[in-house]
Amino acid sequence: MTINYLYAFISVLIISLVSFVGVFSLSVGETLLKKYINFFISLAIGALLGDAFIHMIPEAFKSGLNSSTIGILIIVGLLIFFVIEKFIHWHHHGEDKEENHIHPVGKLVLFTDGFHNMIDGVIIGASFLVSVPVGIATTIAVILHEIPQEIGDFAVLIHSGYTKKRAIWLNFFSALASFIGLIFIFVFGNIIQNSVVWFVPIAAGGFIY
């Protein structure tokens, strides 16, 4: 079982490092970046909606939750992130003038992505508790949908007013939330593994919002 923990840790570390895909933009001129930033923002929207409708919601149905419960949890997710956005927007008006160029949506993306990464950590940890092959397959799937999403998230952070270097590091720190999920699943085992099915549709609601 110790080797499973090691593989899970390495997998989550690799997924966290995927957040650095935004580094490529450091070598791209500001004009060129602005030219394609709308494309990457669209990519982020597509990745979030695709992840919600193609990955998370079907996964919730596979978990055994009935459609009514899933629907309610999705609405709960929408409401949670609506309240978070309004709170951030309200807090945004109270900040110093030098921070006023940061749009609230950037902070919302960081929070949403952090929550999503935490769920990824739980899912990967649970997969490796089943077996190493299942864990590796899950890790590959997560990486494939993380790459376009991380590029898109980086573009949104830039569009929200963050500098490129700050956006890269904030994106990375958000990705580290996956370790929280991994630690939870290793400490609490089956309790967290059974509870994660409730968090998946809530996260989907946040992505749709």
Residue 190: what pLDDT?
Answer: 64
In angstroms, the CA 71 to CA 63 distance is 14
* pLDDT tens sequence across 69-92: 999 999 998 998 788 667 655 555
Low-confidence ranges of the chain (pLDDT < 70): 1, 25-34, 37, 40, 44, 84-85, 87-104, 189-196
Residue 196: what pLDDT?
Answer: 62
Tell me the C-alpha to C-alpha distance, in Å, between residue 92 and each of 31, 103, 104, 155, 185.
28, 8, 7, 20, 35
Tell me the C-alpha to C-alpha distance, in Å, between residue 145 and each of 52, 71, 138, 157.
11, 24, 11, 19
- Indicate yes or no: pTM above 0.75: no
First to last CA, the chain: 39
Number of domains in the chain: 1
Crossing angle (nearest 10°) for helices 2-17 and 164-175: 160
71 is in which domain, residue-wise? 2-208
Residue 90: what pLDDT?
Answer: 58
